[in-house]
């Protein structure tokens, strides 16, 4: 029996495995209370850190294993395996004449200016790419299929190659999925135990190179992901947790561990996506529901855009040097993180990054051997971060060492006098901020968005510290700092819905009547989506199917996505779809041409199974908050007395004028002069530029 | 005023993010396919002198950092806020426009009633009129064939479009909606630039803004100069060739003498051939121009990727190019396919630089960029499906310590290809092979990258194939330091079947249903003696199928035993071989050697006298005349530059000198 989880009581658990810490958040589905726990990560086998963290957290918060109703887990194992090239030994089977599909790729080079640039090293070397006589046509026809003898020979070559995993990419298989299935059927009968990935099963979209990459990436990480999930499952069972295990996906949703085992490619970028999901949840509570998120951690800052409370997804992202076309939450790097190093170049200009001190040795003030100042050292020198209360006092920082290192930078910039180190620190923050603002504006320009319509949602350890400077520079008027910005990715995992994307490219048909094939394919995709949601035991009331088409004017090289209402999609109502395409084109590209011929490329269905989420919890009322202290901060090129609050001491509705610093365990919020902060009803901090709200 | 280093760094950041934001906006809203597909557009900020102090990195075309807009600006006096100048005239713009489809807009940015900067943008429009759709044809012989010509004029006056100008433009294009859409997109990009400039001035003040322009240029100049100082002082000369001049089979010679002194560089094109009657000309007017210095820019950027992209990067370079050469043509020489010449200038400069920096510079790249175009027969309604099958390029040159890149070449443009599945869904072709071309990389200790092979069957009668920009059928991409040249380009119809034809450089080839077309692009040149290549790399190449066992045995001098290298036997073989009389011989291409020796001797001197005596517009005719008469049949289609080594060189030289004298005599 399928049953809704909506009425259940207990906890939903989000787990995010980062490079340094494994973050665990328990969300009480009844009260909305969140319990956070940080456990050092165990990079050699991340499931160990997950287990020890869960055990310790359940003990501390007195939560019984049986009260855990679902675990949502984000992992970067697949991503790291690709970046470090530590996946399975792989072979690739392609159509005749197509052996160099990975060597040629899309033909361009990573840097046009660099005469020493090398092209990407293919996931499968040329000698492990095998051609075979299978081939389709653009109309879905089978142009060629190999005889038994050729299949036998191919199987022998694969056996001799001693590979663990095989990707199969046949030309036009998106329009004829039996081609690869039959070929794999014939091969796997001869090669038991070998993993096969059919490109048309993982991602049946036209464009052979991109589809081949999805298949190869999947095949590359299938064996190690399978092993990891086995360890995870048995570990959880040994803790007495028998709840469903869900794995965060790159599209901002999650899927069951069983689905993730077969298609690990869907989980590859889940880490950054989860944070954005949490931010979009916050954006939904804001007046215009548009947010630009900035996740600023130790080594870098990433941005993404949420429009109307929905994260922007993209089908043009990269895994290392490889393009990825499956829909993922759009996240792009915009510059420095807290560990980014300040240096003075040969011409005397101050630079911040791209080199980072990372966690080891870390900033100078960590006292772990780092001798080059970082942005974090700047925050300390400027008085933003209290060296005695970093991470809630778990770590004490060496402020003098930070000053000394910054004074040296100041000297090389020609600064003298008692505040040379503060001036250097202030310059470092301004330069890093200018760079971030530039990238942020470019990211918005790509989507034709105006920064003045967006609220900045900063998270990660350094995000809220730098947020107001960034907003000032990018002319953003409002900032919303979430409750636990340092645990945002785990929170995002916890609050994500089940979600899978399904795609089919429309085969080329000569007839004018496109309505019929469109209706047929949408019906197929909808059935796939519904079947999946049933497998995941999602009740009918908690299901959503979203239908869309990629369309273009004939001759254009780029598609736009047109969302169609369900009845329009399932009836193949071409006239209404076209109408919507023209409107959408006008709004995205600034023009439309109703007389121009159009083309349909891909049909998509997104299946969503809504999960139960903890209700938003308000900041607790504080009976007698302690008197705030004051401390000098170097803001606007001089020392000024800032008022310092513990965030936990501020009740809902409380307003504090800048200059102010709000401290919490996982970050420090800086409110410069000219800005004010209010503890919002929904629990976040609402920071606005005075006179602009 | 002098800026403090922090303000300068912040201004530099703001400048570049502004031009990139302009570019991203343009890319999103422009109408023309070239923008979306090939990123053939640009945005920048120019200072009061018309040169760029900010240029995007990776948004739009990468090659135009050093354009000079001064002539466009000077042509329109009394600019007011909200004015926008338009031009597409390669000559009247002083080379700031490089061919007619590049519709260029410039807006002055004002502060307190005076101009403080200019916004610049261009889009390669789908059509600006002229003889053929898309405006560019290899057979155009005058600029006027290449479309409507717009000298610099006001398109927008104080924020209002001048309707008369717009109507003339739209009446002279085959794609008025596209062109109007492009103009709107460019104006939107310019207004973003205007807004951001105003914000920068609001925050930093106008004096800092102006000082920032000067100082960021000086900063790039200083950083680039530091790189150029790595080139030892001296003069280095090199010549390379285009297979023919487009009108006859006589090749075009590009010659650069590069003189370096303490990081200051002069490029002397005086010995480069006269302007052509084909659209190979680069309208640089004898001044510094991005198409002539691209290799130096890549060099500087490779050795110091932190140099901000602006005109300062080029400030240590001067150009000498007397009027009338192919890189300083006079109106009305056509310029449509100037990128073919630009590519060869790039290689020629590479050759000169590699003499100065043998261990730094790579051997020659494949050096072609060919959009292979299929035109299907006209449909009943008059429409005609024209698609790019694939844009094909060659391999890149080997260099000390690294093989050349296989099957890709981004030297003058970094184009993406066309997925076979999209292609076959939109055109009547079936691709039989699209892959790397084995054995085409120039052999060397560091192998040249292999070229590509594209083979496809045409599925309809009445189709034709166009191959604009084909070259390297006669002069191979050269190797360095004992490295061998890459393989020449080849085009074959019905390979391996009855009626197989090697057709060489193509303009238009008609094909019928079932015909098979094969295009093979050149490999990059090799670096170092192939007999010094390490066995592991040779084995890897054999394993991967990029080098055949035959080539390994004959050129790399290894002994193979059932597919494996017998190292002891190979070592013995390599030791037994004579060292070669010229271990550092750079050129193993007999065709190039023959032409070099012919033109660097008395015949070259005679030709120089000829150019001096003949008026610029008549020079290319005179050239064809003397070569046609001296090289029996050089003006006929069956002859090619590759035939020169088969002739008796002294006789050719004498004949050429005699023909020059005859022509000069007739003129006296």
Asked if the Cβ–Cβ distance from B13 to A108 is below 8 Å, we say no
For residue A126, what is the nearest residue in chain B, using CA coordinates?
Answer: B544
Quote the CA–CA distance of B300 and B345 in Å, as a whole number. Answer: 17
- Cα–Cα distances in angstroms (integers) from residue A646 to residues A146, A282, A381, A629, A656, in the given order: 71, 22, 20, 10, 12
Tell me the H-state helices in A590-670.
Answer: none
Task: Please determine, for residue A692, whether its predicted confidence score (pLDDT) is greater than 70.
Answer: no
- A510–B contact, CB cutoff 8 A: no
Locate the DSSP E strands across A387-483. Answer: 455-459, 478-481
Distance CA A20, CA A16 (A): 11
Q: What share of chain B is helix, strand, coil (3-state, %, to 5)?
A: 35, 20, 45
Dist. CA A378–CA B258, nearest whole Å: 48
Shortest Cα–Cα distance, A398 to chain B (Å): 26
Cα of A611 vs its chain's centroid, Å? 20
| Nearest Cα to Cα of residue B396 among B438, B434, B343, B442 | B442
Architecture of domain A85-220: 3-Layer(aba) Sandwich (3.40)
Please name the residue that has the structure tokens 């120019």: B46
Give the C-alpha separation, A276 to A280, whole Å: 6
Residue B359 confidence (pLDDT):
93
Distance CA A582, CA A560 (A): 10
Cβ distance of B410 and A100 shorter than 8 Å? no
DSSP class of residue A374? B
Per-residue pLDDT, B485? 96
Look at the block and give the residue holding tokens 């008025």: B176
User: In angstroms, what CA-CA distances link A23 with A13, A461, B571, B598?
Assistant: 10, 13, 59, 75
What is the residue-averaged pLDDT of chain A? 90
B17 touches chain A (CB under 8 A): yes
A475 contacts in chain B (CB < 8 Å): 199
More confident residue, A470 or B248: A470
Which of the listed CATH numbers 3.30.420.40, 3.40.190.10, 1.10.760.10, 3.40.50.720 matches domain A11-81+226-267? 3.30.420.40
Strand-strand pairing, A90-95 and A129-132: parallel
Token pair 């000309």: residue: B281
Q: How far is A586 from chain B (nearest CA, A)?
A: 10
**How confident is the model at residue B138, as a pLDDT?**
87
Does residue B271 belong to the interface with chain A, where contact is any CB pair within 8 Å? Answer: no
The tens digit of pLDDT for each residue in A521-569 reads 999 999 999 999 998 889 999 999 999 999 988 766 677 889 999 999 9
Domain boundaries for CATH 3.40.50 within chain A: 85-220
Nearest-CB residue to A125 (from B6, B417, B544): B544
In chain A, whose CA is at the least distance from the CA of B192? Answer: A445
Q: For residue B595, which of B476, B496, B481 has the smallest C-alpha distance?
A: B476
CA distance linking residue B349 with residue B282, whole number of Å: 15
- pLDDT at A4 exceeding the cut of 50: no
Among B residues 421-440, those touching chain A with beta carbons less than 8 Å apart: 421-422, 424-425, 430-436
CB nearest A347 (choices: B4, B222, B415)? B222
Residue of B nearest to A127 (CA): B544
Check A98 against B435: CB less than 8 A apart: yes
The CATH 3.30.1490 portion of chain A extends over 498-609
A289: left (phi over 0), alpha (psi -120 to 50) or beta: left
Check pLDDT > 80 for residue A448: no
pLDDT band at A511 (very low <50, low <70, confident <90, very high): low
A171–B29 C-beta distance less than 8 A:
no
Residues in chain A within 8 Å Cβ distance of B54: none
- Whole-number Å distance between alpha carbons of B239 and B256: 6
Of B293, B415, B298, B441, nearest in space to B363 by CA: B441
Q: Which two tokens stand for residue A366?
A: 């960590």
Looking at residue B585, its pLDDT comes to: 52
pLDDT for A594 equals 84
Query: What pLDDT is recorded for position A510?
Result: 47
| pLDDT tens, position by position, B221-267 | 999 999 999 999 999 999 999 999 888 889 999 999 999 999 999 99
Q: Is the peptide bond between A354 and the residue preceding it cis, with omega within 30 degrees of 0?
A: yes
Q: Which residues pair with A486 in a beta bridge?
A: none
B302 touches chain A (CB under 8 A): yes
Q: Is the pLDDT of residue A6 over 50?
A: no
pLDDT at A7 over 70: no
Nearest CA in chain B to A125: B544
Rounded CA-CA distance B374/B381 in Å is 19
Q: State the nearest Cα–Cα gap between A657 and chain B, in angstroms.
A: 24
Residue of A nearest to B456 (CA): A97
**In 3D, which of B341, B329, B477 has the Cα closest to residue B404?**
B477
What is the side-by-side order of every strand in the sheet holding A598-609? A34-40, A21-28, A11-17, A68-74, A245-248, A254-256, A498-505, A598-609, A543-553, A560-564
CA distance, residue A444 to nearest chain B CA (Å)? 9
pLDDT at A622: 63
Q: What is the model's pLDDT at position B635?
A: 63
Answer yes or no: do B29 and A589 touch at CB < 8 A: yes
Cα A637 off chain centre by: 36
Could you tell me the two tokens for B480? 């360095």
Structure tokens at B281: 């000309």
**Any A CB within 8 A of B581 CB:** no
Q: Name residue A313's beta-bridge partners.
A: A329
B64 in Cβ contact with B42 (< 8 Å): yes
B399 at interface of A, judged by CB pairs closer than 8 A: yes
Output the pLDDT for position A514: 86
Which residue in the set A172, A435, A591 is minimally distant from B13, CB to CB?
A: A435
- Cα–Cα nearest to B24, from B215, B212, B206, B196: B196
Q: Is the dihedral of CA A150, A156, A157, A159 positive or negative?
A: positive
Residues of B in contact with A210 (CB under 8 A): 419
Answer for the pair B343, B282: CB distance below 8 angstroms, yes or no. Answer: no
Question: CA Rg, chain A, in Å?
Answer: 27
Check if A391 contacts B (Cβ < 8 Å).
no
Place of tokens 């968005």: A449
pLDDT of A611 over the 80 cut: yes
The nearest CA of chain A is from the CA of B617 a distance in Å of 36
Closest of B143, B169, B145 to residue B155, by C-alpha? B169
Question: pLDDT tier at A160 (50, 70, 90 boundaries)?
Answer: very high
Out of A118, A119, A558, name the one closest to residue B36 (CB): A558
Chain B residues inside the 8 Å CB shell of A126: 436, 544-546
- CA nearest B544: which of B455, B446, B454, B435? B435
Closest residue in B to A335 (Cα) is B13
Res A5: pLDDT: 41
CB contact under 8 A, A350 and B424: no
User: How far lies A513's CA from each of A516, A551, A568, B524, in Å?
Assistant: 7, 16, 15, 49
A274's enclosing H/E stretch is helix A270-283
Contact at CB, A104 and B425, closer than 8 angstroms: no
Q: Which of residues 345-374 of B touch A (CB under 8 A)?
A: 362
Residue A162's φ and ψ, nearest 5 degrees, are 55, 55
For residue A391, is pLDDT > 80? no
Q: Which residues of B touch A589 (CB under 8 A)?
A: 28-29, 31
For position A665, what pLDDT does the model report?
Answer: 83
Q: For domain A498-609, which architecture applies?
A: 2-Layer Sandwich (3.30)
Q: Alpha-carbon distance B19 to A535, whole Å?
A: 50
Cα separation of A250 and A328, whole Å? 5
In this complex, do B5 and A351 lie within 8 Å of one another by their Cβ atoms? no
Tokens of A16: 């995010």
Contact B335, B283 (CB under 8 A): yes
Which residue of chain B comes nearest to A425, CA vs CA?
B6
A413 neighbourhood in chain B, CB within 8 Å: 4-6
Q: Note which residues in 621-680 of chain A have CB less than 8 A from chain B.
A: none
pLDDT surpassing 60 at residue A47: yes
Facing A445 at nearest CB: one of B25, B301, B420: B25
The crossing angle, in degrees rounded to 10, of helices A420-446 and A399-412 is 80
Nearest to B24 among A209, A445, A593 (CB): A445
Residue of chain B minimizing CA distance to A447: B28
pLDDT at A601: 85
Q: Does B261 touch chain A (CB under 8 A)?
A: no
Interface contact flag, A127 B177, Cβ < 8 Å: no
Mean pLDDT of A348-357: 89
Are residues A350 and B6, on separate chains, in Cβ contact within 8 Å? yes
What's residue B28's pLDDT?
79
| Residue A627, Ramachandran bin (φ over 0: left; ψ between -120 and 50: alpha; else beta) | beta
Query: A207 touching B, CB under 8 A?
Result: yes
Secondary structure class of A629 (helix, strand, coil)? strand
Q: Rounded to whole angstroms, how far apart are CA atoms A636 and A650?
A: 26
Pair A483, A564: CB distance under 8 Å: no
Closest CA to A161 of A122, A130, A134, A188: A130
* Mean pLDDT, range A236-252, rounded to an integer: 94
Tell me what pLDDT residue A299 has. 78
Can you give the length of chain B in residues?
668
- Phi first, then psi: give them for residue B348, nearest 5 degrees: -65, -45
Residue A528 near residue A106 (C-beta atoms within 8 A): no
A409 pLDDT above the threshold of 80: yes
Dihedrals phi, psi of A404, to nearest 5 degrees:
-60, -45
| DSSP letter string, B489-515 | PEEEESTTSTT-EE--S-SEEEE-TT-
Q: Tell me which H or E stretch contains A407.
A: helix A399-412
User: What is d(CA B3, CA B215) in angstroms, rounded to the nearest whole number?
Assistant: 8
Which one of B6, B43, B176 makes the best mutation probe of the A interface by having the most chain A beta carbons within 10 Å? B6
The dihedral region occupied by A233, where left means phi > 0, alpha psi between -120 and 50, and beta the remainder, is alpha
**Residue ranges of chain B whose pLDDT lies below 50:** 581, 583-584
Phi, psi of A233 (to 5 degrees): -60, -45
Distance from C-alpha of A342 to C-alpha of A411, rounded to nearest angstrom = 13
Interchain proximity B414–A117, CB inside 8 Å: no
Nearest chain B alpha carbon to A137: B424
What does the pLDDT read at residue B27?
85
Tell me which residue in A104, A109, A438 faces B14 most closely, judged by beta carbons.
A438
Mutant choice from A95, A98, A107, A116 vs B, greatest count of B C-beta within 10 A = A107
pLDDT of residue B665: 87
How many other C-beta atoms can be found within 10 angstroms of the C-beta atom of residue B639?
Answer: 19
| Closest listed residue to residue B466, CA positions, set B371, B340, B382, B392 | B371
Q: Chain A 127-156, CB below 8 Å of chain B: which residues? A: 127, 137-138, 143
In this model, does residue A8 exceed pLDDT 70? no
């Amino acid at each position: 029996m399928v049953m809704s989880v909506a009425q259940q009581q207990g906890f939903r658990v989000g787990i995010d495995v980062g490079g340094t810490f494994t973050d665990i958040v328990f969300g009480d589905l009844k009260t909305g209370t969140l319990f956070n726990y940080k456990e050092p990560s165990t990079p050699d086998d991340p499931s160990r850190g997950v287990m020890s963290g869960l055990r310790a957290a359940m003990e501390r918060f007195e939560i019984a294993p049986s009260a855990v109703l679902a675990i949502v887990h984000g992992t970067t194992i697949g991503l790291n395996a690709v970046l470090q090239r530590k996946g399975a030994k792989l072979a690739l089977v392609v159509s005749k004449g197509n052996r160099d599909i990975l060597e040629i790729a899309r033909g361009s080079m990573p840097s046009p200016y660099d005469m020493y640039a090398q092209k990407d090293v293919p996931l499968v070397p040329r000698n492990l790419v095998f051609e075979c006589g299978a081939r389709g046509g653009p109309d879905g026809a089978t142009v060629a299929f190999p005889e038994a003898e050729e299949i036998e020979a191919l199987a022998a070559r694969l056996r001799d190659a001693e590979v663990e995993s095989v990707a199969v990419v046949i030309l036009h298989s998106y329009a004829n999925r039996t081609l690869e299935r039959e070929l794999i059927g014939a091969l796997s009968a001869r090669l038991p135990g070998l993993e096969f990935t059919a490109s048309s099963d993982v991602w049946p979209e036209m464009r052979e190179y991109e589809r081949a990459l999805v298949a190869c990436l999947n095949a590359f990480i299938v064996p190690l992901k399978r092993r990891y999930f086995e360890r995870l499952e048995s570990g959880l069972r040994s803790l007495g947790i028998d709840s469903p295990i869900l794995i965060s996906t790159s599209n901002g949703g999650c899927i069951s561990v069983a689905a993730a085992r077969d298609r690990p490619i869907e989980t590859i970028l889940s880490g950054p996506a989860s944070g954005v999901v949490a931010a979009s949840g916050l954006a939904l509570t804001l007046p215009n529901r548009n947010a630009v998120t900035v996740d600023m951690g130790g080594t870098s800052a990433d941005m993404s855009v949420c429009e109307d409370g929905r994260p922007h997804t993209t089908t043009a992202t990269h895994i290392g040097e490889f393009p990825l076309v499956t829909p993922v939450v759009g996240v792009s790097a915009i510059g420095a993180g807290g560990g980014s190093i300040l240096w003075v170049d040969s011409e005397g200009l101050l630079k911040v990054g791209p080199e980072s001190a990372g966690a080891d040795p870390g900033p100078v003030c960590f006292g772990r051997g780092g001798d080059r100042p970082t942005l974090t050292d700047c925050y300390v020198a400027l008085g933003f971060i209290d060296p005695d209360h970093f991470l809630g006092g778990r770590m004490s920082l060496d402020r003098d060492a930070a000053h000394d290192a910054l004074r040296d930078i100041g000297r090389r910039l020609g600064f003298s006098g008692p505040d040379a180190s503060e001036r250097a620190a202030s310059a470092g923050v301004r330069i890093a901020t200018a760079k971030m603002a530039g990238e942020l504006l470019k990211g918005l320009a790509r989507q034709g968005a105006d920064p003045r319509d967006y609220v900045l949602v900063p998270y990660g350890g350094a995000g809220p510290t730098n947020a107001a400077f960034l907003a000032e520079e990018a002319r953003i008027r409002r900032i919303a700092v979430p409750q636990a910005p340092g645990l945002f990715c785990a929170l995002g995992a916890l609050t994500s819905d089940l979600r899978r994307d399904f795609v089919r490219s429309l085969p080329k048909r000569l007839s004018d009547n496109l309505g019929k094939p469109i209706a047929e394919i949408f019906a197929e995709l909808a059935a796939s989506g519904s079947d999946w949601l049933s497998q995941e035991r999602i009740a009918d009331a908690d299901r959503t199917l979203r239908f869309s088409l990629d369309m273009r004017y004939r001759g254009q090289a780029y598609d736009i996505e047109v969302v169609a209402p369900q009845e329009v999609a399932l009836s193949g109502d071409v006239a209404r779809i076209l109408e919507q395409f023209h409107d959408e084109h006008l709004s995205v590209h600034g023009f439309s041409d109703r007389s121009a011929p159009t083309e349909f490329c891909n049909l998509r269905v997104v299946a969503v199974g809504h999960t139960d989420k903890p209700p938003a919890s308000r900041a607790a009322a504080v009976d007698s908050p302690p008197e705030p202290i004051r401390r000098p901060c170097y803001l606007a090129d001089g020392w000024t007395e800032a008022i310092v609050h513990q965030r936990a001491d501020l009740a809902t509705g409380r307003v504090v004028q800048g200059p102010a610093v709000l401290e919490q365990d996982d970050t420090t919020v800086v409110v410069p002069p000219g800005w004010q902060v209010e503890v919002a009803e929904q629990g976040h901090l609402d920071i606005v530029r005075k006179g602009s709200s | 005023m002098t800026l403090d280093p922090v303000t300068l760094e912040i201004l530099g950041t703001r400048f570049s993010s502004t031009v990139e934001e302009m570019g991203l906006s343009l890319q999103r809203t422009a109408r023309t396919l070239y923008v979306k597909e090939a990123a053939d557009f640009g945005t920048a900020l120019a200072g009061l002198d018309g040169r760029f102090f900010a240029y995007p990195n990776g948004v739009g075309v990468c090659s135009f950092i050093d354009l000079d807009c001064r002539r466009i600006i000077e042509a329109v006096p009394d600019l007011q806020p909200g004015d926008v100048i338009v031009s597409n005239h390669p000559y009247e713009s002083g080379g700031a426009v490089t061919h007619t489809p590049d519709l260029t807009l410039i807006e002055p940015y004002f502060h307190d009633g005076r101009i403080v900067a200019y916004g610049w943008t261009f889009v390669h429009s789908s059509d600006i009129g002229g003889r053929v759709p898309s405006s560019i044809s290899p057979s155009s012989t005058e600029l006027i064939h290449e479309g409507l010509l717009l000298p610099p004029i006001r398109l927008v006056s104080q924020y209002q479009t001048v309707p008369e100008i717009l109507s003339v433009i739209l009446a002279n294009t085959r794609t008025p909606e596209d062109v109007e859409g492009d103009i709107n997109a460019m104006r939107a990009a310019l207004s973003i630039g205007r807004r951001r400039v105003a914000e920068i001035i609001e925050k930093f003040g106008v004096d800092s803004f102006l000082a920032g322009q000067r100082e960021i240029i000086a900063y790039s100049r200083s950083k680039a100069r530091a790189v150029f100082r790595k080139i030892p002082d001296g003069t280095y000369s090199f010549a390379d060739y285009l297979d023919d001049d487009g009108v006859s089979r006589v090749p075009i010679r590009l010659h650069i003498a590069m003189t370096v002194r303490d990081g200051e560089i002069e490029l002397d094109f005086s010995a480069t051939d006269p302007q052509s009657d084909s659209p190979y000309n680069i309208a640089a007017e004898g001044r510094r121009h991005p198409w002539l210095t691209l290799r130096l820019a890549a060099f500087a950027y490779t050795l110091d990727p932190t140099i901000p992209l602006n005109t300062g990067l080029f400030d240590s370079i001067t150009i000498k190019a007397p009027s009338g050469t192919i890189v300083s043509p006079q109106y009305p020489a056509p310029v449509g396919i100037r990128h073919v010449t630009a590519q060869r200038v790039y290689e020629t400069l590479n050759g000169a630089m590699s003499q100065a920096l043998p261990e730094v510079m790579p051997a020659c790249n494949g050096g072609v960029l060919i959009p292979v175009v299929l035109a299907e027969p006209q449909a009943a309604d008059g429409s005609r499906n024209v698609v790019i099958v694939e844009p094909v390029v060659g391999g890149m040159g080997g260099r000390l310590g690294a093989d050349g890149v296989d099957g890709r070449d981004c030297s003058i443009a970094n184009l993406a290809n066309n997925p076979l599945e999209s292609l076959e869904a939109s055109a009547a072709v079936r691709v039989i092979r699209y892959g790397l071309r084995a054995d085409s990389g120039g052999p060397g200790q560091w192998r040249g990258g292999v070229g590509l092979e594209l083979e496809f069957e045409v599925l309809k009668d009445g189709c034709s194939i166009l191959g604009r920009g084909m070259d390297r059928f006669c002069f191979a991409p050269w190797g360095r330091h004992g490295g061998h040249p890459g393989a020449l380009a080849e085009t074959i119809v019905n390979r391996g079947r009855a009626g197989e034809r090697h057709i060489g450089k193509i303009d238009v080839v008609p094909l019928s249903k079932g015909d098979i077309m094969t295009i093979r692009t050149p490999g990059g040149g090799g670096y170092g003696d192939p007999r010094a290549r390490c066995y592991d790399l040779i084995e890897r190449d054999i394993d991967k199928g990029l080098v055949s066992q035959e080539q390994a045995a004959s050129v790399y001098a290894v002994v193979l035993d059932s597919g494996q290298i017998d190292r002891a036997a190979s070592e013995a073989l390599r030791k037994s071989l004579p060292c070669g009389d010229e271990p550092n011989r750079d050129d193993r291409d007999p065709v190039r050697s023959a032409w070099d020796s012919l033109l660097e001797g008395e015949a070259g001197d005679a030709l120089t006298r000829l150019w001096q005596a003949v008026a610029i517009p008549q020079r290319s005719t005179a050239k064809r005349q003397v070569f046609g008469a001296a090289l029996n049949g050089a003006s006929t289609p069956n002859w090619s530059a590759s035939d020169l080594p088969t002739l008796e060189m002294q006789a050719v030289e004498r004949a050429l000198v005699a023909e020059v004298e005859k022509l000069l005599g007739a003129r006296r």
